[in-house]
């Protein structure tokens, strides 16, 4: 599915927006400077034994001290938008609605936002990209207490809208609630690291976390619409991630159904309440029973009202997989998939696509196009923005491979071609593309191993070197949008 396909550099709309994406904890560093409080990731990365390859984001890419240089690099590489996240504990060190605000943290983001605008780059700001205040975790368990978390998140969001909303016109509430729920509160590979082995209730916790995130998103969306949008004229939504799923055995009805079920458990879990204002997918209600929380009538009223306010679908997508319905063994009591197995190879031994340096991430642009169609069909009133897409290259520890990152260039070219086909052949409105990531960075539990950046970072000196994929994206975006002034400097 990703083999032997040529990159065609197919056209994109002239108004199609190109930029890059990062997250605060992954690039900023300055973890304990200028009044910043501890986040759950500041704590998680210092646990013993280490759960992040002995590495942490204390320094990361040093972006905190390199804002002007990094923004100039973005401009030089032709970017017109930048998806960044705010560090909650840089703004409210203890996190809560009654806790003091850190004006130095506010000033840092003022400086970054102003620098972007001075270079003609529109900031797209994520309020929460996984780095919750540790103090709130210690006070009440964060997402496990819906009322407390929602109140603190509302306060934090209102502060951000009031301080930055005059210049920020695109807001995202949460990045990847699926990952927060499952990886943070079931298998424990991401902060705060809850899992059954460490005594957590993984039968119910992930679904309570997801419920809290949905209602907190809706509450903040309503606040923005009522209090800020009329004067600031911005837009707001959420970012959902997801693979596309093909049946493991196309002749087996159970596997055909499994592919659809897996999409609903992964994406529609959040998408249906947020974008359609309705209950969780029926397949989840049937399978999970009372493990899945219930929306009250007030909750549903809020969801129905705010479903009309979300102005785009933020899609993080990297790869596709095969789905196989397991029939030869019962599910674990905390199973979260409807007893479905994810694989990179189908019943005939055919791979979904060539592997990057991360085995799970493979070149599968056909699946990407199918996912764009699936999302557009389920949520037809929303344009789509690709808020993350990219890959790490095989062999990228070699500097020559890192600079001339042909695997990445091919991946990006094929996925941009898939967007073009979705727009012009399938009639789907895709408004923009944010490559993940602007620069190599701290990749959560994988530490500094995978390099997703289109800019190489020397982690000893923190020097930046654009890779050939950065120049490829700059030039192909100009060509595809019909604004080419082709440069051959790579």
> Which residues participate in catalysis according to the annotation?
176, 388
Q: How many CB atoms lie within 10 A of CB 457?
A: 23
Find, among 3, 39, 84, the residue nearest to 365 by Cα: 3
Q: Are 473 and 18 spatial neighbours (Cβ–Cβ below 8 Å)?
A: yes
Which tokens in the block code for residue 283? Answer: 């397949």
Q: How many CB atoms lie within 10 A of CB 213?
A: 26
Report, in angstroms and rounded to the nearest whole number, the Rg of the chain calculated over CA atoms: 21
Phi, psi (degrees; rounded to nearest 5) at 84: -120, 165
- Report the DSSP beta bridge partners of residue 301: none
Is the four-CA dihedral 443, 467, 171, 365 of positive or negative sign? negative
156-160 CB contacts, 8 Å cutoff, 24+ apart: 156/88, 156/91, 156/92, 156/95, 156/97, 156/127, 157/127, 157/220, 157/223, 157/224, 158/223, 158/227, 159/91, 159/92, 159/101, 160/86, 160/91, 160/125, 160/127
Residue 341 DSSP class: E
Q: Which residues contact 392 (CB under 8 A, 6 or more apart)?
A: 356, 357, 358, 361, 408, 450, 451, 452
CA distances from 244 to 136, 341, 342, 344 (A): 35, 14, 11, 12
Q: For residues 66 and 78, what is the distance between their CA atoms, to the nearest angstrom? A: 19
Phi, psi (degrees; rounded to nearest 5) at 129: -120, 60
Q: How many helices (H) and strands (E) in the chain?
A: 18, 13
Q: How many CA atoms lie within 13 A of 411 on its CB side?
A: 29
Q: How many CB atoms lie within 10 A of CB 444?
A: 22
Q: Which residues contact 178 (CB under 8 A, 6 or more apart)?
A: 210, 240, 241, 242, 266, 267, 269, 270
- Characterize 182-207 residue by residue with b for buried, 16 or more Cβ atoms within 10 angstroms of its Cβ, and e for exposed: bbbbbbbbbbbbbbbeeebebbbbbb
Is the four-CA dihedral 116, 489, 432, 272 of positive or negative sign? negative
């Amino acid at each position: 599915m990703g083999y032997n396909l040529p990159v065609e550099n197919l056209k994109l709309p002239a108004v199609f927006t190109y930029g890059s994406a990062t997250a605060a904890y992954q690039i900023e560093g300055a973890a304990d400077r200028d009044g910043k409080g501890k986040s759950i990731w500041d704590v998680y990365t210092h646990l013993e034994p280490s759960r992040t390859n002995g590495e942490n984001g204390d320094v990361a890419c040093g972006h905190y001290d390199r804002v002007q240089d990094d923004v100039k690099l973005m401009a030089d590489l032709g970017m017109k938008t930048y998806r960044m996240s705010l560090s909650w504990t840089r703004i409210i060190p203890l996190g809560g609605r009654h806790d003091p605000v850190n004006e130095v943290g506010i000033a840092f983001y003022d400086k970054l936002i102003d620098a972007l605008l001075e270079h003609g780059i529109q900031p797209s700001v994520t309020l929460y990209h996984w780095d919750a205040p540790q103090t709130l975790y210690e006070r009440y368990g964060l997402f496990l207490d819906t009322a407390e978390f929602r109140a603190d998140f509302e306060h934090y969001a209102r502060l951000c809208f009031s301080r930055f909303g005059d210049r920020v016109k695109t807001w995202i509430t949460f990045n990847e609630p699926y990952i927060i729920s499952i990886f943070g509160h079931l298998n424990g590979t991401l902060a705060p690291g809850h899992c059954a082995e460490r005594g957590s209730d993984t039968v119910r916790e992930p679904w309570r976390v997801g419920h809290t995130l949905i209602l907190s998103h809706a509450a903040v969306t309503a606040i923005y619409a009522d209090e800020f949008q009329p004067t600031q004229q911005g837009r707001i939504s959420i970012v959902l991630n997801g693979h596309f799923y093909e049946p493991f055995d196309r002749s087996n009805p159970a596997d055909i159904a499994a592919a659809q079920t897996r999409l609903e458990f992964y994406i529609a879990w959040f998408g249906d309440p947020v974008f359609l204002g309705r209950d969780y997918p029926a397949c989840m209600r049937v399978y999970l029973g009372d493990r899945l929380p219930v929306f009250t009538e007030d909750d549903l009223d809020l969801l129905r009202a705010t479903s009309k306010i979300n102005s785009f679908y933020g899609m993080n997508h990297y790869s596709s997989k095969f789905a196989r319905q397991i029939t030869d063994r019962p599910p674990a009591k905390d199973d979260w998939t409807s007893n479905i197995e994810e694989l990179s190879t189908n019943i005939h031994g055919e791979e979904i696509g060539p592997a990057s340096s991360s085995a799970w991430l493979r070149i599968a642009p056909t699946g990407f196009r199918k996912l764009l169609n699936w999302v557009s069909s389920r949520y037809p009133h929303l344009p789509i923005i690709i808020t993350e897409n990219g890959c790490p290259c095989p062999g990228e520890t070699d500097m020559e491979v890192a600079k001339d990152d042909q695997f990445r260039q091919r991946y990006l070219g094929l996925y941009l071609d898939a967007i073009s086909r979705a727009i012009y052949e399938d009639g789907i409105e895709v408004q923009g593309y944010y490559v993940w990531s602007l620069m190599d960075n701290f990749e959560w539990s994988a530490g500094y191993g995978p390099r997703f950046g289109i800019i190489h970072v020397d982690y000893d000196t923190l020097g930046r070197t654009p890779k050939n994929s950065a120049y490829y994206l700059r030039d192909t975006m100009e060509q595809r949008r019909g604004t080419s002034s082709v440069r051959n400097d790579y």
